[in-house]
């Protein structure tokens, strides 16, 4: 892979005139991928990798960072959070591999780690790795992530699996419906990673305008309750980017979120906890301009 990239770089510089078209194409920047491994001295953006168990998060992680996280074909393999870095274009990225979860309701430690990271650490981009051959179930998680953040890229992975089952998955249709970029990949064989990088780059730099899909609850009472709470929440925590989600969680009696309101933590977003190192998190939130 490294070899391949180097070749491309050389080719690019030699025939600069010919590749003018290529240069304007976002995919072209993939030639600038530099896998940084665990070298994460400083970074411009933090990218989280979420997804259902066994969809290939660790494989994507390895492909982007050049690290060799152990991958295995069984759900629940990643129990700790792995971090690595890569450089793409002019930016340095820190990539965080979250444990695989089916939802973000925080009913288990895995879900709590994943949700707390997406919510409190406020990654600049959240990649949701999705199993194309089991789209319906995977979308449950996607919709929940979209309620928390709009800075999302869907990595429609395991396209080869879908092919094998003679399913046709339409990434454009999906992107239109979900309102965020969708990139088809086969991470095991490094297919589609260049497009994925381009999408990450655009979301991180705010070049993509996301209009994330909102689940329709079709319940006037609920809508009223939510909008009333949203007003209150936005009054108390003007920076909170996902007041609707917070309102829904409060209505559901989510202890963790209630606590975040009580502590005023929701407004500070300089979240520190043993497994979310304080330094890196506050760095992120300061830089993203969400804090204080």
Which residues sit at the interface with other proteins, rule CB under 8 A? 53-54, 68, 70-76, 79-80, 107-110, 133, 135-137, 139-140, 142-144, 161, 165-171, 173-174, 177-178, 188, 213, 215-219, 221-222, 225, 228-229, 232-233, 235-236, 247-248, 250-253, 258, 261-262, 264
Q: Please tell me the distance from the alpha carbon of residue 21 to that of residue 104, in angstroms, as a whole number.
A: 42
Least separation, in Å, of the C-beta of 42 and other proteins? 27
| CB closer to other proteins out of 25 and 215 | 215
Question: How buried is 84 (Cβ within 10 angstroms: 0-12 exposed, 13-18 middle, 19+ buried)?
Answer: buried
What is the three-class DSSP state of 71? coil
Cβ nearer to other proteins, comparing 44 with 161: 161
Task: Estimate the crossing angle of helix 57-65 against helix 193-204, to 10 degrees.
Answer: 80
Report, in Å, the least distance between residue 244 CB and other proteins: 12
Measured from the CB atom, the residue of 14 and 211 that comes closer to other proteins is: 211
**Max intra-chain CA distance, the chain:** 64
Number of other CB atoms surrounding residue 44 within 10 Å = 15
* Cα gap 233→254, rounded to integer Å: 15
User: Minimum Å distance from CB 12 to other proteins?
Assistant: 28
Least CB distance from residue 260 to other proteins, whole Å?
10
Nearer to other proteins, 104 or 121 (CB): 104
Q: How far is the CB of 264 from other proteins (least distance, A)?
A: 6
Residue 76 makes CB contacts below 8 A (sequence gap 6+) with 53, 99, 100, 110
Closer of 125 and 178 to other proteins (Cβ):
178
């Amino acid at each position: 892979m490294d070899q391949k990239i180097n070749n491309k770089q050389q080719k690019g510089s030699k025939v600069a005139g010919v590749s003018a078209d290529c240069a304007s194409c976002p995919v072209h920047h993939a030639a600038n991928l530099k896998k940084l491994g665990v070298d994460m001295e400083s970074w411009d953006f933090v990218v989280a990798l979420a997804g259902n168990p066994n969809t290939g998060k660790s494989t994507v992680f390895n492909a982007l960072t050049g690290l060799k996280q152990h991958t295995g074909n069984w759900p629940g393999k990643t129990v700790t959070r792995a971090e690595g870095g890569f450089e793409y274009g002019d930016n340095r990225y820190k990539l965080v591999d979250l444990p695989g979860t089916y939802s973000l309701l925080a009913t288990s430690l895995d879900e709590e780690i994943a949700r707390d990271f997406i919510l409190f650490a406020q990654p600049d981009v959240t990649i949701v790795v999705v199993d194309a051959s089991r789209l319906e179930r995977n979308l449950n998680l996607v919709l929940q992530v979209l309620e928390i953040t709009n800075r999302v890229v869907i990595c429609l992975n395991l396209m080869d699996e879908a092919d094998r089952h003679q399913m046709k998955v339409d990434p454009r249709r999906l992107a239109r419906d979900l309102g965020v970029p969708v990139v088809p990949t086969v991470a095991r064989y490094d297919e589609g990673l260049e497009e994925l990088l381009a999408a990450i780059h655009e979301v991180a730099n705010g070049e993509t305008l996301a209009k994330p899909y909102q689940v329709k609850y079709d319940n006037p009472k609920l809508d009223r309750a939510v909008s009333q709470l949203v007003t209150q929440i936005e009054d108390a925590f003007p920076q909170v980017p996902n007041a609707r989600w917070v309102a829904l969680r409060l209505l559901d009696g989510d202890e963790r979120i209630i606590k975040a309101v009580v502590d005023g933590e929701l407004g500070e977003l300089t979240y520190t906890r043993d497994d979310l190192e304080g330094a890196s998190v506050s760095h992120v939130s300061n830089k993203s301009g969400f804090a204080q």
